[in-house]
Amino acid sequence: MNDPLRVLIVEDDPHVLLGCQQALSLEDIPSDGVASAEEALQRIGEDFAGIVVSDIRLPGIDGLELLARLKQRDPSLPVVLITGHGDISMAVSAIRDGAYDFMEKPFSPERLVDVARRALEQRSLAREVSVLRRQLAGRQALEQRIIGRSPAIQALRALIENVADTGANVLIEGETGTGKELVARCLHDFSRRKSKQFVALNCGGLPESLFESEIFGHEANAFTGAGKRRIGKIEHADGGSLFLDEIESMPLNLQIKLLRVLQEHSLERLGSNQPVQVDCRVIAATKSNLDELGRAGQFRSDLYYRLNVVTLELPALRERREDIPLLFEHFLQLAALRFDRAAPELDRHTLAALMAHDWPGNVRELRNVAERFALGLPVFKKSGQASEGPGFAEAVEAFERNLLVDALERHAGNLSQAAQSLGMAKTTLFDKVKKYGL
């Protein structure tokens, strides 16, 4: 969408081609010229930013066949045909087949400019509508994957939409179980890299002796047991996205090598001096504060600054309790499908227990609880670290907070209207909004 709209002129007469380009140039309309339909087809890709003005009579593929092929690729692409004397009936037939307009030779520069401007305006509008439709579809799809109505989750989705297609490196921060890999996959799936590999590696799940080979790859006989060449995770992610979870666990000596890859866009496999060019987007995730680790000498600060071009902070579940009922219902329906049984109805006592629980395992723990509930088991175990249930005061506060959030959402944040619907004074509502950090 950032590309300027251009006119591609297809004309085998060099004098006519030059005259058309000069006429458009004088009106600040950018154009390109080719002498055949074959060359035009090579230039026009899926996201061609412009219109086509083509003579009907061309060597090889003629203008009518070019029109048919272009309409197959992109029905919204305006194609203007240039006709000679006696070709008017042919041009009228082409209009019925989808041509935008036609011009009979000889035509004036003013006629060319007028037709081109109208066609470019239509093309611009069609492209804007297409982009808006894709954005709307992407937004709806994102809401189905990152579930929640809390301000923190709405802001997270908006940021993902904003940066997904930029290719910038992203650092995802959040507690265990908050959904860091899900966010990383969304960044990949809503980018132009989605047709390439999404490669995930848990930096804390590999012994240091295997880590270097796993991420950078190795040549045959690079070390004992290396019988054949191995392509590493970075190289495998070429053109796509590399997700490095628990990046804080990466050994310091390998952090230096990763930093070089990010700077030079190339790597060397173990046992090789030959650089391999790579182009992958790095998405890193951590449950630690890398800035503090850097100051303590436990993580390279230069790598931290290279990774956190964009930082996404995932809120803990206890910080967005208003999302708990929606998330629980979602996981409950998934569990019911998986276990092939009807989903049990969520009663108010169970909901109060869910709202008051501290959720140390975050969304991952909530999913586990939903699966137990789908099987008819108690939502909280009576042993271990899980809570047996909330106290009365905690349950009341959790219920009240959820009630306030719902009222504020229904009235688009208008305190006066929300207070009226709740039957309380506006000052009381304001105090409670401050109390619950809403």
What does the pLDDT read at residue 396? 67
429 assigned to some structural domain: yes
* Residues in the chain, overall count: 438
d(CA 196, CA 236): 10
d(CA 215, CA 227): 17
Q: Is residue 342 domain-shared with residue 413, that is, in the same domain?
A: yes
Query: Among 315, 335, 366, which residue terminates a domain?
Result: 315
Tokens, residue 310: 């964009």
Q: Is residue 153 domain-shared with residue 96, that is, in the same domain?
A: no
Q: Is residue 29 domain-shared with residue 77, that is, in the same domain?
A: yes
Q: Is residue 268 domain-shared with residue 197, that is, in the same domain?
A: yes
Q: Is residue 82 domain-shared with residue 153, that is, in the same domain?
A: no
Q: Is residue 311 domain-shared with residue 324, that is, in the same domain?
A: no
What range defines the domain where residue 91 resides? Answer: 6-130
pLDDT in tens, 213-242: 889 999 888 887 778 888 999 999 999 999
Which are the contacts of 227, defined by CB distance < 8 A and separation ≥ 6?
A: 220, 221
Q: Is residue 224 domain-shared with residue 301, that is, in the same domain?
A: yes
Q: Is residue 399 domain-shared with residue 410, that is, in the same domain?
A: yes
What does the pLDDT read at residue 134? 63
What does the pLDDT read at residue 222? 82
Q: Is residue 124 domain-shared with residue 51, that is, in the same domain?
A: yes
Tokens, residue 287: 């449950």
**Integer CA distances (angstroms), 232 to 110, 192, 207, 211, 214, in order:** 60, 23, 15, 10, 5
141 assigned to some structural domain: no
Regions of the chain where pLDDT drops below 50: 1, 383-390
Per-residue DSSP letter, 322: G
* Number of structural domains found in the chain: 3
Q: Is residue 289 domain-shared with residue 153, that is, in the same domain?
A: yes
Where residue 178 sits, what CATH number does that domain have? Answer: 3.40.50.300
135 assigned to some structural domain: no
Q: Is residue 297 domain-shared with residue 376, that is, in the same domain?
A: no
What does the pLDDT read at residue 106? 87
Q: Which amino acid is residue 79, in one-letter code?
A: V
The CA-CA-CA angle for residues 63, 66, 67, to 5°, reads: 90
What does the pLDDT read at residue 389? 47
What does the pLDDT read at residue 210? 83
CB atoms within 10 A of CB 62: 15
330 assigned to some structural domain: yes
Give me the sign of the Cα torsion angle 135, 139, 144, 146: positive
Q: Is residue 158 domain-shared with residue 294, that is, in the same domain?
A: yes
Where residue 115 sits, what CATH number does that domain have? Answer: 3.40.50.2300
What does the pLDDT read at residue 137? 61
What does the pLDDT read at residue 356? 86
What does the pLDDT read at residue 23? 94
